Amino acid sequence: MKIAFQGEPGAYSEQAVFGYFGSVETEPCESFDKVFEAVASGRAESALIPIENSLAGSIHQNYDLLLRHNLHIVGEYFLRVRHCLVAAPGVQKADIRKAISHPQALGQCAGYLRERGIKPETVYDTAGSVKMLKESGARDTAAIASRRAAELYGMEILEEGIEDNPENFTRFLAIQPEAIRPVGESKTSIVFTLKNTPGALFKALSVFALRDIDLTKIESRPLAGKPWEYLFYIDFIGAVHEAHVSKALDHLGEYALMLRVLGSYRRFV
């Protein structure tokens, strides 16, 4: 299989690909748009995209791309993110004056950098920051990235686990052109819109409460081209082929102006 991901080789997304799919061929993409295009065009059989981080919240662009493309969520994966301070061979921690990385990684290590007087500088990617550092040869600069990125580019890890909060997890979604029928405990992701009337959202959510369906996430996003109207993204326990879920979705369809099932998939445990 060829699996697409966003970033350079050694990125956390590539680490998640190997964790979820095992030994596969990967296709690095420069943007999330390119990841979706790779799967939609058939250049890659599947992709793994980050959808939310336990510290930084949701990756809104990927919610928008899920709606824009006719692809299906077929799995999820949780990656424990451990940031490393990476430098050129022979460099000491005392030499470091600047750290480069993706803005989210820099934000997650802000306290560590501040305490040591290290100036953060934003670049496009975590693994890309290691690649840039290697190419520059700078000895007063470190990158913040994964252990794999350091090993891949022949750099040294000065310190591991430098994130301010150890409860740092990223949730990824596997996407592909065809839907699946999951086995075992499952999740379903949907998106819908509602009329802007009193009690509309209460009525929509009640279809799940009436059937004891556990909602695990709810997210609202602005509806493009319609100011002050919103899309609602919901994840819940259960699969569309289960009778109580099917009835809940039929019931929701009575209130929703638009309803789309993004996929049912096995729950990650």
Any idea which residues carry the catalytic annotation?
Answer: 170, 172
Alpha-carbon distance of 99 to 8, in angstroms, equals 18
DSSP 62: H
Find out whether 49 and 31 touch, Cβ atoms under 8 Å: no
Q: 225: phi > 0 → left, psi -120 to 50 → alpha, else beta; which?
A: left
Instruction: Please choose, from the candidates 140, 142, 135, 245, the residue with its C-alpha nearest in 3D space to the C-alpha of residue 186.
Output: 245
DSSP 47: E
Find out whether 252 and 211 touch, Cβ atoms under 8 Å: no
Name the amino acid, one letter, at 115: E
Report angle CA 62, 58, 85 to the nearest 5 degrees: 100
DSSP 214: P
Name the amino acid, one letter, at 55: L
* Total residues belonging to the chain: 269
